[in-house]
Amino acid sequence: MKITIVGGGYVGLVSGACFAKTGHDVTIVDVDSSKVGMINSKKPPIYEKGLEEILNETAGKNLCASTGYDSVADSDVSMICVGTPQGEDGSANLAYIKQAASSIGKELKKSLGYRVVAVKSTVPPGTTENFVRPEVLRASGKSVDDIGFAMNPEFLREGIAVFDFMNPDRIVVGSDTEKAGEIIEKLYSCINGDVIHTKTTAAEMIKYTSNAFLATKISFSNEIGNICKALGVDVYEVMKGVGMDHRISPYFLNAGAGFGGSCFPKDVSAIASIAEGMGLDPVLLKSVLKINDAQPLRIVEILENRAGSLKNKKITVLGLAFKDNTDDIRDSRSTPVIGALLSRGAHVSAYDPMASGSMKKIYPEIEYCNSPSDALRDSDGCLVMTEWPEFSELDKEFSLMKSQIVIEGRRILSVEDREGICW
């Protein structure tokens, strides 16, 4: 099948590359010409395990990138994968969705035959039906007999997104007609996964609910972790026992510095905003966000209790990405921690295998080092914020510190005499 992916960001690029790997003819549309050039040159603009290998295999063959929408008219499916950033009021900003729908509709004026427009971006329930569909039909001058609409949410974990795409827990297909749903399902014919057919609004809500529930598990674990620390109980022992209950499962029960990334914070905020807009009070969801906002600052409080005033002290931050195996710093727990350290007059040295360049755009004034040793040398304290595997191997490097105060936001270290945020 011929597919146009609108949006060459994280979701669009990974999805487009994986669709090409399974044999489809894919065009990725993005306004960023430098990103388009990189994709066409087989160079991924983001780091994702396995992505470069797929681009080497498909780019220039059945995968290309463009700044124009010309491919839409001949595509069986046009898939919207643009961002839905969080607005000031916590709601999802749909400006890029509207722009994509309008541009797709204009190109579909030229199309012959039945076409499907699918949304893969995370959007509030009702967006596909009440926002995308009327905009595409208006811009194209066509009817629902000519264009079908679908919602096909993604469930990709950064760092292993290619694996997740190829080995999905489920494939959710929300559609306004059976015909449109069958075409979207056909896209995944080479991938093993249970297909769930729903209405578009249900598919949109499945995505929000999944992220909100996982975020809730994390904040719940952190709340329990804070209590366990006060009681002198090992929260990891507690959660190991809890997670063995098949009704709960062991996943997302690791207490620590909280969740970040491009999905959980904005999606929980968006669904809470939707609820409030309908006159409901989403107490649990607001608590999930409140706990998550406060959690990383606890590590700074623990550091102050151990080291005293942080003014003019050198504090090392190991890990800047919101999780390992990515260079993504969106809503990284390191960001508020660095801000808190600087506000207390500390001098911050930082190390991350991939994310230093990204964090430098936010905090250009701190010292970025090329190794953990360089970052730790003569430091008065160390905060470990990301679970990079290489950090688990650190040992003698901590002896380079002036004062060996080591506090973890993720349970990754094997060195003795370290303290955890929740243990």
Assess whether 399 and 256 both reside in one domain. yes
Confidence of residue 40 (pLDDT cuts 50, 70, 90): very high
β-pairing verdict for 170-175 and 147-151: antiparallel
Q: Give the model confidence (pLDDT) of 387-403 as tens digits.
A: 999 999 999 999 999 99
What is the average pLDDT across 304-328? 97
Chain mean pLDDT for the chain: 97
Q: Give the model confidence (pLDDT) of 256-307 as tens digits.
A: 999 999 999 999 999 999 999 999 999 999 999 999 999 999 999 999 999 9
Which residues are known to be catalytic? 263
Residue 221 resides in a domain: no
What is the average pLDDT across 8-33? 98
Residue 152: closest CA among 112, 109, 113, 197: 197
- Asked if the model's pLDDT at residue 44 lies above 90, the reply is yes
- Nearest-angstrom CA–CA distance, 187 and 47: 25
Assess whether 194 and 240 both reside in one domain. no
Please tell me the pTM assigned to this model.
0.94
Assess whether 123 and 33 both reside in one domain. yes
- Asked if the model's pLDDT at residue 164 lies above 90, the reply is yes
Last residue of some domain: 198, 218, 241? 198
What's the confidence (pLDDT) of residue 204?
98
What is the average pLDDT across 8-31? 98
Confidence of residue 417 (pLDDT cuts 50, 70, 90): confident
Confidence of residue 416 (pLDDT cuts 50, 70, 90): confident
Residue 208 resides in a domain: no
Residue 393 resides in a domain: yes
φ, ψ (nearest 5 deg) of residue 148:
-100, 160
Percent of the chain with pLDDT over 70: 100
Number of domains in the chain: 2
> Exposure of 344 by Cβ count < 10 A (0-12 exposed, 13-18 middle, 19+ buried)?
middle
- Asked if the model's pLDDT at residue 142 lies above 90, the reply is yes
Q: Give the model confidence (pLDDT) of 203-255 as tens digits.
A: 999 999 999 999 999 999 999 999 999 999 999 999 999 999 999 999 999 99
Q: Check which CATH number belongs to the domain holding 398 and give it.
A: 3.40.50.720
- Nearest-angstrom CA–CA distance, 382 and 316: 5
What's the confidence (pLDDT) of residue 242?
98
β-pairing verdict for 25-29 and 63-66: parallel
Domain that holds residue 348: 233-423
